[in-house]
Every structure is written in structure tokens, then in C-alpha cells.
Amino acid sequence: MASGRGFGLADAEAFRSTAQVFVEHAGRMGPGLAGGPSFGLLKEAAGGGALADTRTQHEAVCAFLDCLKRASGQGATPETYTFVAKCAEYDRYLDEKVVEFRANRREDWPSNAVKSDDNTTIAKVVDEIAGHLRSFSEPAQSYQSLVDYTQARIRSLMPTEIAGMRQEANISLILPFLEKSLPVAGDVAEFGCFRGILSVKLAWMLKALGADKHYYAFDTFHGFEIDDPAGGALGIGSFRDDEFDAFTFLTKWSRILPLTPVKGDATKTCAQLRAPLSFVWLDLDMGVLMDPVLRTIWSKCGPDTIIGIDDVGRPETPTVSPWLDGLLAAGALEMVFDSDRIAPNTFIRFVKKKGELPPA
């Protein structure tokens, strides 16, 4: 960024990328930031609008700085938690520099130009901020945003004794989607809960958030009863942990949480579900187990039910991905989120109902 009494752009395309990233994230923040002339100007810059002369460049940079301030005061959504926190941090940093270099008020910059003891340093600070925000386009940032959000939710809503228990599944990728499903009417079902730690954590969250929902945790509670038909690593007895006794553990928790463990072969026991479902978590590791479960609960799922599937594409569970691919290709399901796009080797997909199931 060049300095003078106005901001000039040494690299207009780099600034355009910043504008694009900002507009994309701000779009997920709700209506608050979407209005206003500065956001309109930034959108214009993001969309390829003129940054040709120094006057429009100055206006665009000032619009960006105004949006930064406005974003700092917004409420975050799961996807924008880190983004909003960073906007606030950068905005404060710029305010500090304004004081340090005795600059005129930021509100006056668009019309009256920048007047300070050191315009070069002020321009450098703005340049750094624009660069940092560009990095939000990197996938790792989206994943970090989910991790930060989940950790913050756990810290504020869960006692440390529960938060400290370790589950197999990646809760940072699951909790934000469970929360997204809260406005959908219906209960929650987890298939393949193993020791039930995820179940306790998510049922706790339902209660803490005041959701009118019940959590059903399905498992044989003695591991797999079949071998993987494709010769994968799992077979009869895998995931058996009699010492832990997850069924008793969950039964105890069910006294204070809206939680019910359901023991037995889930391909059969899932027929006990009566109410609609708002969120489903399928962690049965094999297509031959997931398929009959999904078919049985299909009528309990609506178009907004969020269905999560774990271990898609994991080498140890070779039948999950072909099973899901078949349903996507048949138009029965549509993809909502593919975790491997933002964090390789996390193997989670969230889908929704799109059409009808193909014949079994």
C-alpha cells in the first residue's frame, strides 16, 4: 500500500483478493454487515470493480477499514468465530497506531484524507491487515475456525470433567453441525457410539442450549458382530470394551441428561425411533450396516435433517465411501460439507435428503 494523503494500491489484485475474502466471510455473518455504502464499495472491488485511479483506490481501502470496524462489533456464527475475533484484533491495532502517530479520526479519512505524523507506517499497518485477512481464504483457516468455535463452546458450556474425556470422533467437526440443526424439529440419533463419550458431550450440549430434543445412542455395546465384507481392518469383536461397560455408563448419565442408550444390532433397533430426527450421526464403519439403518430411519428424516457420516474414504473402512457415493450419484442425498476439503484425512461428510432412495 502506498502512502500519501490517500491510500494508493501497489498491488490492486492483492487488495481485490482481500476484498473477496472479506465479502465471503461477512456474507456468513448475517444481515448486519451486508448493508451500508462501505460494504457495497468493498463488494464492488471484490467483484472486479474499478480500482484504476488513486481516488477509487483510497475510497476502497477506507471502505475496507470501515467494514473491519463494523465486523468487529458483530455477533459471530460458527463459521466466522475466528474471523470476527481477528477483525476486532486488527481494528484495535489500527486504532492504536492512529493514536501513536497522532492521525486524524478514521471516520474523516474517506473525505479528508489521512493526516498523521507518519503516513508511511499507517499505510504499512493497513497493508499488513489486508494481507492477514487474505490468509482467511486458506482452508486451514476454516478448520481452525471450527476448532476454535467448538473449544470456546465446550469451555463455556461443559464442566471440565466431561470436556476432558476423550472420544474417538472429531467433535470440532460435529458440534457446529449439531448446533446448525437445532432449529429443525426432531431428536438426535447416533449410530455406533462405542464408549459413549461423544454421546454424553452432545447430549450435555443439547441440555445446556435448552434444546427440546432427545439423544439416542445406538450400539451393540460389545463391538462388531460381522467382519468387514471388503476385507477391511474391522471384524467380529472390534471395538469391544467390556471393562468400560458403556451401556451402564450411559444409563447413569441418562438420569440427568436427555439421553437414552439403545443396545443391540442398530440395523434392527433403529426401528424403535418414533419421532422425526433433526440430526443423525452414522459411525458404523461399514456400508452394509449404514445402509439398512439409513433406509429404516429415512421416513424420520426431513429435507433439513443433517446427516453426518464418519470414516468416508478412510483406508481401514473401505466400504463407506462407495456406499455414500452411490446414494449421492442416485440423487437420494446431497453433500452439505466435506471435511477433507478443509482438513485432509478427517473423513467426515454431512449430507441432507435430496430425493428418494434407490432400491436396496
Footprint of ligand SAM on this chain (CB under 6 A)?
A: 167-169, 192-195, 197-198, 218-220, 223-225, 239, 265-267, 283-285, 289
Q: What are phi and psi of 333, to 5 degrees?
A: -125, 155
State the nearest-atom distance from the C-beta of 195 to ligand SAM, in Å. 6
State the nearest-atom distance from the C-beta of 276 to ligand SAM, in Å. 21
In the bound state with ligand SAM, the residue whose beta carbon lies nearer, of 81 and 194, is 194
C-alpha cell at 136: 482467511
**3-state SS of the chain: helix, strand, coil percent to 5?**
50, 10, 35
Q: Please give the sequence-ordered ranges of beta strands (E in DSSP) within the chain, or none if there are none.
A: 187-191, 215-219, 259-263, 277-282, 301-309, 333-338, 349-353
347 vs 128, 139, 178, 195, 343, CA distance in Å? Answer: 35, 15, 17, 20, 9
Instruction: Give the C-alpha separation, 20 to 15, whole Å.
Output: 9
State the nearest-atom distance from the C-beta of 165 to ligand SAM, in Å. 10
C-alpha cell at 118: 507518519
State the nearest-atom distance from the C-beta of 193 to ligand SAM, in Å. 5
In the bound state with ligand SAM, the residue whose beta carbon lies nearer, of 130 and 206, is 206
Instruction: Give the C-alpha separation, 345 to 215, whole Å.
Output: 28
In the bound state with ligand SAM, the residue whose beta carbon lies nearer, of 223 and 326, is 223
C-alpha cell at 77: 456464527
Q: 13 burial class (0-12, 13-18, 19+ CB within 10 angstroms)? A: exposed
State the nearest-atom distance from the C-beta of 238 to ligand SAM, in Å. 7
Q: How many CA atoms lie within 13 A of 132 on its CB side?
A: 18
State the nearest-atom distance from the C-beta of 242 to ligand SAM, in Å. 12
On whether the CB atoms of residues 202 and 178 are closer than 8 A, the answer is yes
In the bound state with ligand SAM, the residue whose beta carbon lies nearer, of 17 and 220, is 220
Residue nearest ligand SAM, CB atom distance: 192
In the bound state with ligand SAM, the residue whose beta carbon lies nearer, of 66 and 285, is 285
In the bound state with ligand SAM, the residue whose beta carbon lies nearer, of 9 and 250, is 250
In the bound state with ligand SAM, the residue whose beta carbon lies nearer, of 266 and 343, is 266
State the nearest-atom distance from the C-beta of 172 to ligand SAM, in Å. 13
In the bound state with ligand SAM, the residue whose beta carbon lies nearer, of 66 and 219, is 219
Query: Within 10 A of 23 (CB to CB), how many other CB atoms are there?
Result: 19
Q: For residue 190, is it left (φ>0), alpha (ψ between -120 and 50) or beta?
A: beta
State the nearest-atom distance from the C-beta of 356 to ligand SAM, in Å. 25
Q: Name the amino acid, one letter, at 325.
A: D
